[in-house]
Amino acid sequence: MSLAAGPGRGGGGGAQGQLPDEMKVVVEKHVAYIQSLDTRREELEYHLTEHLRISGIYWGLTALHLLGHPDALPRDGVLDFLFSCLHADGGFGAAPGHDPHMLYTVSSVQILAMVDGFDELEKRMKDGKLKVAKYIAGLQQPNGTFAGDEWGETDTRFLYCALNALSLLGFLPSQQADQPPLIDVPAATAYVKACQNFDGGFGTEPGAESHSGQVFTCCGALSITGELDSYLGEEGKDRLGAWLSERQLPSGGLNGRPEKLVDVCYSWWVMSSMAMIGRLHWIDKAKLTAFILQCQDPEEGGFADRPGDMVDVFHTVFGLAGLSLLGHPGLVEVDPA
Amino acid sequence: MGKYADDEQWSDVVPLPTDEGGDNPLAAIAYSEEYEETMSYLRAIMAANEYSPRVLDLTEDLIDMNPAHYTVWLYRAQCLFAIDSDLKEELEWLNETALTHQKNYQIWHHRNLIVDKLDQCEGETAFVESMFERDAKNYHVWSYRQWLVRRFGLWDKGELEFTEQMLQRDVRNNSAWNHRWFVVNGQEGAAGVGDPDIRAREMKFAMLAIAKAPQNQSPWNYLRGITKKSGMSLAHLKDFAEQYASLDQPDNIHSSFALDLLADILVEEKNTKQAAQALDLLEKTYDPIRKNYWAYRKEQLGLPAAVA
3-state DSSP assignment of residue A22: helix
pLDDT digits (tens, 9 = 90+) for A264-322: 999 999 999 999 999 999 999 999 999 999 999 999 999 999 999 999 999 999 999 99
ipTM: 0.88
Residue from A125, A33, A48 nearest A84 by CA: A125
pLDDT digits (tens, 9 = 90+) for B55-75: 999 999 999 888 888 889 999
Give the pLDDT confidence of B202-244 residue by residue, as tens digits: 999 999 999 999 999 999 999 999 999 999 999 999 999 999 9
Q: What is the mean pLDDT of residues B104-129?
A: 92
Question: For residue A74, which residues of chain B lie inside 8 Å, CB to CB?
Answer: 25-26
Whether B139 sits inside 8 A of A209 (CB atoms) is: yes
In DSSP terms, A196 is beta-bridged to: A202
Q: Output the pTM of the full model.
A: 0.90
Q: What is the mean pLDDT of residues A57-77?
A: 92
Which chain A residue has the Cα nearest residue B43?
A97
CB of B228 within 8 Å of any CB in chain A?
Answer: yes
Active site residue B117: no
Task: Write out residues 113-152 of A within 8 Å (CB-CB) of B.
Answer: 149, 151
Q: Which of B3, B88, B103, B117 is catalytic?
A: B103
Of A41, A198, A259, the CB nearest to B28: A41
Residue B210 to residue A96: CA distance in whole angstroms: 53
- Which residues are CB-contacts of B167 (< 8 A; sequence separation ≥ 6)? B173, B176, B177, B180, B209
A53–B293: do the CB atoms touch at under 8 Å?
no
pLDDT for B28 beyond 90: no
Mean pLDDT computed over B33-39: 85
Q: Where are the domains of chain B?
A: 233-308
Least Cα distance to A137 among A108, A105, A107, A104 occurs for: A105
**Phi and psi at residue A9, to the nearest 5°:** -105, 145
* Position A95 pLDDT exceeds 50: yes
Quick check: B27 and A84 CB within 8 A?
Answer: yes
**Are B71 and A98 inside 8 Å of each other by CB?**
yes
Nearest to A54, CA basis, from A117, A116, A96: A96
Within 10 A of A282 (CB to CB), how many other CB atoms are there?
22
- Mind telling me how many Å the CA of B290 is from chain A's nearest CA? 6
Mutate to test the interface with B, among A35, A40, A45, A48 (most CBs of B within 10 A): A48
Task: Please state, rounded to an integer, the average pLDDT across all residues of chain B.
Answer: 91
pLDDT score, position B29: 46
pLDDT score, position A49: 60
Q: Say whether residue B285 is in contact with chain A using an 8 A CB cutoff.
A: no
Mean pLDDT of B247-266: 97
| Contact across the interface for A96 and B18, Cβ inside 8 Å | yes
Q: For residue A246, give the nearest of B186, B216, B217 by CB distance.
A: B217
Residues B146-186: tens digit of each pLDDT: 999 999 999 999 999 999 999 999 999 999 999 999 999 99
- Extended beta strands in chain B, E state: none
A229 or B100, higher pLDDT = A229
A105-134 residue pLDDT tens: 999 999 999 999 999 999 999 999 999 999
